Chains A and B, each alone.
Chain A
Amino acid sequence: MPGFESLHYANPLDLLRRFIPTPLKALFRVGSARVRVRTNDITLLPVFPLEADLEALGVKSWEWRLIRDADSRGLLEPPLFIASGALTIVGMGPACLIGVDREKRELLAFIGRAIGTRTHQDFLIPLFSELISEMFPTSTTLSFAAWNEASINE
């Protein structure tokens, strides 16, 4: 498990960690969508094709803000899923909190320090992709539909 001491963030006027810097940026293609990922941890970048067509950016692009939360310990808990209007929220305990605003085309995720690369790439990234799918939530098979805490938190 990597240490995340360098990502520790403390600001008494920002108790919600709203302003954790996310200096790493990359563009990816997820299906037909272009996704601009911003993160504070390079291991959270998806293993997707890089989007090279910069000119095409703008119309259908999403922004993902993937924040490694160095102060959040613990593993993923069974998901709670809230859909209301343009918002989709997924809570898996402090280890992972996800918010998707389809109107603003933004996805936000706080990812705890105990979430390893395999869990992130094999479980969370596919989940993010499904959450931004045009078909969501009517005809997608959510990657956590067959939730198995032991195997996902391996």
Chain B
Amino acid sequence: MMMLTFNRQTLPFRTEFAVAGTRCVLATNSLEVLQSAAGWRQGTDLCGSASFEMEVFVDSAMDNRAHQAAFFRGHRHLVFALLPPRSFVTYDLLRRRVHGILSVAAARDCFFWNNLLLPITVGVLGTTVGVVPMHCACLDHDGNGLLVAGVSGAGKSTLSAAMAGYGFSFVSDDWTYISKEGSTLVAHGLSSRVKLLPDAVRFFPDLRHLAPRTTLNGELAYEIDPSRTEGFAVKHRSHPRRIFFLERTSQSGCYFVPCQSDYVRSFFEKNAERLPDELVQAKAFRTSIIQSLSSCAAWILRTGESPQKTAEAIGDFVTGANNARV
């Protein structure tokens, strides 16, 4: 049995870093975690950001526990997360605090921090600290952010990878974290790996050299690190100006159908996670972000073309050399 009281005695090391536009105040008992955090602190501006506290206790006894698949539950302001490898994290959304007991293996693992703990933390806490997680991809073109939304399975990730290959800067593929600086929207990415379903190998033959792995939601997928992919430029933030709602069709060609702000608002509200009644401010903040997003120029993009051809059509569309049928 392990009983831990989290306080300044048990968690003597402290640091701060920015993540997706928020400020994380980290306390830990592990020098390794502190050293890892040095990487996240680089080039980050912490001024004016809303903050949350993350208390992380690293315990080697955790490494002897049974393997555990990812598991999440929550109610009202409390959320529990069991994360591989062998870690237990809880979130208090009212007090904006994260408590975690990590295995040594997790504490040392950059993949764990960059692809699980930090994205999940911003995903769970974000709305309470001024960042709204939105289920969409974000690419950047000359400082202008372009969100790609759509229902699950529409092909957002595959299109994002194709767009990054075409010359757009990659910000995020699955979850984009939207905040406001003054009245300006900012889209943040966490450089998480891009997940491509096995059939994406048709469009990206190089994937054959990789082995697909089981992702958190149980799907088998190839995972590529955008920062290490040749030809990909990665940005951590952008300003959303355009939104494309991706729809697959059997008809050849790419069709850009303008849509009204009501459509944008309705889509994002309909697909947003339900929040408990206690989080009144968080709900209101999310509504205001969706409202702001609804003023972006938006199109339904119906495509029957390959991801590469669709990326090319978007490139032509946003640069004004519009060869696509509108």
Is there a chain B Cβ closer than 8 Å to A52's Cβ? no
Q: Is B88 a contact partner of A80 (Cβ separation < 8 A)?
A: yes
In the complex, what residue of chain A is closest to B272 when comparing beta carbons?
A13
Is there a chain B Cβ closer than 8 Å to A93's Cβ? yes
Q: Is B6 a contact partner of A82 (Cβ separation < 8 A)?
A: yes
Q: Is B75 a contact partner of A65 (Cβ separation < 8 A)?
A: yes
Is there a chain B Cβ closer than 8 Å to A79's Cβ? yes
> A75-89 interface mask toward B, CB cutoff 8 Å, 1 = contact, 0 = none?
001111111110101
Is there a chain A Cβ closer than 8 Å to B274's Cβ? yes
Is there a chain A Cβ closer than 8 Å to B210's Cβ? no
Which of chain A's residues have a CB closer than 8 A to the CB of B55? 84
Is there a chain B Cβ closer than 8 Å to A67's Cβ? yes
Q: Is A16 a contact partner of B74 (Cβ separation < 8 A)?
A: yes
Binds B, one of A24-32, A41-49, A54-62, A94-102: A94-102
Which of chain A's residues have a CB closer than 8 A to the CB of B65? 77-78
Which of chain B's residues have a CB closer than 8 A to the CB of A84? 5-7, 55, 97, 99
Is there a chain A Cβ closer than 8 Å to B263's Cβ? no
Is there a chain A Cβ closer than 8 Å to B1's Cβ? yes
Q: Is A17 a contact partner of B88 (Cβ separation < 8 A)?
A: no
A143, B39: Cα distance in complex, Å: 43
A-B contact count (CB 8 A): 100
Q: Is A18 a contact partner of B76 (Cβ separation < 8 A)?
A: yes
A145, B80: Cα distance in complex, Å: 22
Q: Which of A18, A80, A147 contacts B276, CB < 8 Å? A: A18
In the complex, what residue of chain B is closest to A108 when comparing beta carbons?
B75
Q: Which of B4, B71, B95 contacts A85, CB < 8 Å? A: B95
With contact pairs A16-B73, A108-B75 given, residues A94 and B82 touching in the complex (Cβ less than 8 Å): yes
Which residues of B (162-208) have their CB < 8 Å from a CB of A? Answer: none
A111, B4: Cα distance in complex, Å: 22
Q: Which of A69, A79, A106, A108 contacts B1, CB < 8 Å? A: A79
In the complex, what residue of chain B is closest to A86 when comparing beta carbons?
B95
Is there a chain B Cβ closer than 8 Å to A144's Cβ? yes
Q: Is A14 a contact partner of B95 (Cβ separation < 8 A)?
A: no
Of the listed residues A13, A77, A87, A137, the one surrounded by the most CB atoms of chain B closer than 10 A to its CB is: A87
Which of chain A's residues have a CB closer than 8 A to the CB of B223? none
With contact pairs A16-B74, A77-B66 given, residues A91 and B273 touching in the complex (Cβ less than 8 Å): no
A145, B271: Cα distance in complex, Å: 44
Is there a chain A Cβ closer than 8 Å to B78's Cβ? yes
Q: Is B101 a contact partner of A80 (Cβ separation < 8 A)?
A: yes
Counting chain A residues whose Cβ lies within 8 A of the other chain, the interface size class is 35 or more
> A100-139 interface mask toward B, CB cutoff 8 Å, 1 = contact, 0 = none?
0100001010100000000000000000000000000100
With contact pairs A81-B1, A81-B2 given, residues A15 and B72 touching in the complex (Cβ less than 8 Å): yes
Which of chain B's residues have a CB closer than 8 A to the CB of A97? 73, 80
Q: Is A79 a contact partner of B2 (Cβ separation < 8 A)?
A: yes
Q: Which of B1, B79, B92 contacts A16, CB < 8 Å? A: B79
With contact pairs A16-B74, A89-B90, A89-B99 given, residues A83 and B5 touching in the complex (Cβ less than 8 Å): yes
Q: In the complex, what's the smallest C-beta–C-beta distance from A72 to chain B, in angstroms?
A: 8
With contact pairs A84-B55, A93-B82, A99-B90 given, residues A18 and B3 touching in the complex (Cβ less than 8 Å): no
Q: Is B76 a contact partner of A81 (Cβ separation < 8 A)?
A: no
In the complex, what residue of chain B is closest to A14 when comparing beta carbons?
B274
B contact set with A: CB distance below 8 Å: 1-7, 55, 65-66, 68, 71-80, 82, 88, 90, 92, 95, 97, 99, 101, 271-274, 276
A contact set with B: CB distance below 8 Å: 11, 13-19, 65, 67, 69, 72, 77-85, 87, 89, 91, 93-94, 97, 99, 101, 106, 108, 110, 137, 144-145, 147
Q: Top 9 A-B pairs ranked by shortest CB distance?
A: A16-B74, A84-B6, A99-B78, A81-B3, A97-B80, A83-B5, A94-B71, A91-B88, A110-B73
29 contacts between A and B (CB under 8 A): A11-B274, A13-B274, A14-B274, A16-B79, A17-B73, A18-B75, A18-B76, A77-B66, A78-B2, A79-B2, A80-B2, A80-B4, A80-B101, A82-B101, A83-B3, A87-B78, A87-B92, A87-B99, A89-B78, A89-B80, A89-B99, A94-B68, A94-B82, A97-B73, A97-B80, A101-B77, A108-B76, A110-B80, A147-B1
